[in-house]
Structure 1
């Protein structure tokens, strides 16, 4: 799978190690990097997980015309 970074919450490019980030894949899907959360109250199958990202990350990607 190939990834292309769309938007990140990092203040500058060299800090992209631990930031909420939105990626486009070559499969026509999106990947989201964020903090894993367990307090959502959802029942998930073993192969799924839930991450929390700032709404500003999605707004930034839309404003930049990336999605």
Structure 2
């Protein structure tokens, strides 16, 4: 899989980030919340990102 960084909240690599893949999908880097109370299938997970990350991606016309 080829991955391209779209937008991030910082430049040092350990902040919430949105990536595009050559599969036509998005990858999201963020915190794994533990207190959500949801039932998530074993093959999936949740990540939490700031809404500003999505706003920035839209503003920059990346998605």
Q: Answer yes or no: same fold by TM over 0.5.
A: yes
- Which has the larger strand fraction? 1
Aligned residue pair count: 63
Return the alpha-carbon distance in structure 1 between the equivalents of residues 19 and 55 of structure 2.
14
Deviation, 1:58, is 0.3
Query: Displaced runs of 4+ in structure 1, greater than 2 A?
Result: none
Return the alpha-carbon distance in structure 2 between the equivalents of residues 46 and 29 of structure 1.
20
Unaligned runs of 5+ in 1: none
Return the alpha-carbon distance in structure 1 between the equivalents of residues 18 and 59 of structure 2.
13
Return the alpha-carbon distance in structure 1 between the equivalents of residues 56 and 2 of structure 2.
22
Counterpart residue number, 2:60: 64
How much is the aligned-residue C-alpha RMSD, in angstroms?
Answer: 0.7
TM-score norm. by structure 1 comes to: 0.89
TM-score norm. by structure 2 comes to: 0.94
Unaligned runs of 5+ in 2: none
Counterpart residue number, 2:3: 3
Counterpart residue number, 1:46: 42
Deviation, 1:3, is 0.6
